[in-house]
């Protein structure tokens, strides 16, 4: 049983050559997002704020 997969970027059907994406463009875009995220990790973590009332 084979399920068709869809590009996580644009949701179109993937192309074997570029899976899990549908195209080189989306593959590059995802890589760009990952690279950008790698430099923005601290904003996604819970920052220990000295003024946080819950701490």
Smallest separation, CB 32 to Zn ion (Å): 13
The residue from 5, 10, 28, 32 that contacts Zn ion (CB under 5 A) is: 10
Task: Identify whether 43 is preceded by a cis peptide bond (ω within 30 of 0).
Answer: no
The residue from 6, 9, 20, 30 that contacts Zn ion (CB under 5 A) is: 9
Q: What are phi and psi of 39, to 5 degrees?
A: -95, -5
Integer Rg of the chain from CA: 18
x-or-dash pattern for Zn ion, window 12-31, by CB under 5 A? ----------x---x-----
């Amino acid at each position: 049983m084979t399920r068709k997969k869809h590009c996580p970027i644009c949701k179109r059907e993937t192309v074997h050559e570029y899976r899990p994406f549908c195209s080189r463009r989306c593959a590059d875009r995802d890589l760009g997002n990952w690279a950008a995220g790698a430099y923005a990790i601290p904003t996604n973590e819970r920052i220990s704020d000295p003024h946080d009332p819950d701490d």
